[in-house]
Chains A and B, each alone.
Chain A
Amino acid sequence: MTDTTETPALAMQTGLLAELQDRFRRSAEYVVIPILALIVSGVLFSIFLLALGKSPADFFALVWRGGFGTSFSWQNTLVRSAPLIFTALCVAIPARLGLVIIGGEGALVLGGFAAAAIAVPMIDWAPVFVLLPVMVVAAIAAGGIWIGAVGALRHYRGVNETIASLLMFYIAVSVLNFFVEGLLRDPSDPNKPSTRPIGSENMIGVIPGTDVHWGLIVGVLLCVLLYLVMNRTTFGFAAQIAGGNLRAAQAQGLPVGKLMVVACAIAGACAGLAGFFEVAAIHGKANASLIAGYGFTGILVSFLARHNPLVIVPVAIFLGGIAASGGLVQRRMDLPDATVLVLQGLLFIVILVSETFYGRLSFFKPKGDR
Chain B
Amino acid sequence: MSKLDFSRRTLLKSSAAGLTLLSGTGLSRLAHASDLTVGIVYVGPRDDFGWNQAHAVAAAALKEVPGVTVVEEENVPETIAVEKSMESMINLDGANMIFATSFGYYKPFVLDLAAKYPDVEFRHAAPLWTEGDPKNAGSYFGYLDQAHYIDGIAAGLSTTSNKLGFVAAKPIGTVLRNINSFLLGARKVNPDATVQVIFTGEWSMPVREAEAANALVDAGCDVLTCHVDGPKVVIETAESRGIKCCGHNASQAPLAPNGFITGAEYKWETIYKMFAADLAAGEPLPNFTGGGFDVDFVQNTPYGAGATEQAIAVADAAREEVKGGAPIFVGPIKKQDGSVLLAEGESFDNYEPALDQTDYLIEGVSGSIT
Contacts from A to B (Cβ < 8 Å): 65-66, 70, 72-73, 76, 79-80, 190-192, 211, 278, 282-284, 287, 289, 292-293, 323-324, 327-328, 330-331, 336-337
Contacts and interface: CB of A to CB of B under 8 A. Distances in A.
Nearest to B92: A328
B73 interface: yes
Nearest to B170: A191
A292 B79 contact: yes
Contact of B92 (A65, A211, A289, A293): A65
Contacts, number: 67
B75 A331 contact: no
A72 B87 contact: yes
A331 B72 contact: yes
A282 B172 CA distance: 26
Given A80-B84, A289-B79, A292-B81, A337 B92 contact: no
- Which 9 A-B residue pairs are closest in the complex by CB-CB distance? A331-B71, A72-B91, A337-B75, A76-B84, A327-B73, A327-B85, A289-B78, A292-B79, A282-B80
Contacts of B77: 289, 292-293
Contacts of B92: 65-66, 70, 72-73, 328
Contacts of A289: 77-79, 104
B236 interface: no
B211 interface: no
B91 to A, nearest CB: 4
B76 interface: yes
B346 to A, nearest CB: 27
A211 B108 CA distance: 14
Interface string B58-95: 00000000000001111111111100110111011100
Nearest to A193: B170
Most chain B CB inside 10 Å of its own CB: which residue of A65, A72, A76, A79 = A76
B6 interface: no
Interface residues on B, range: 20 to 34
A72 B85 CA distance: 11
B344 to A, nearest CB: 32
Contacts of B108: 283-284
B89 A331 contact: yes
A337 B103 CA distance: 20
Interface of B: 45, 71-81, 84-85, 87-89, 91-93, 103-104, 108, 126, 172-173
Most chain B CB inside 10 Å of its own CB: which residue of A65, A283, A293 = A283
A363 B81 CA distance: 44
A contact face: mostly helix, strand, loop, or mixed? helix
14 contacts: A66-B88, A76-B87, A211-B87, A278-B79, A293-B77, A323-B81, A324-B84, A324-B88, A327-B84, A330-B72, A331-B71, A331-B72, A337-B73, A337-B74
Contacts of A336: 45, 74
A260 B228 CA distance: 45
A264 B19 CA distance: 61
Contacts of A292: 77, 79, 81
A190 B76 CA distance: 22
A328 B88 CA distance: 8
Most chain B CB inside 10 Å of its own CB: which residue of A73, A211, A284, A327 = A327
A203 B172 CA distance: 30
A66 B75 CA distance: 17
Nearest to A282: B80
A80 B73 contact: no
A191 B124 CA distance: 15
Most chain A CB inside 10 Å of its own CB: which residue of B75, B76, B89, B126 = B75
A211 B71 CA distance: 23
Most chain A CB inside 10 Å of its own CB: which residue of B45, B77, B81, B89 = B81
B204 to A, nearest CB: 12
Most chain A CB inside 10 Å of its own CB: which residue of B80, B91, B103 = B80
Given A66-B88, A72-B88, A284-B108, A331 B74 contact: no
Contacts of B74: 330, 336-337
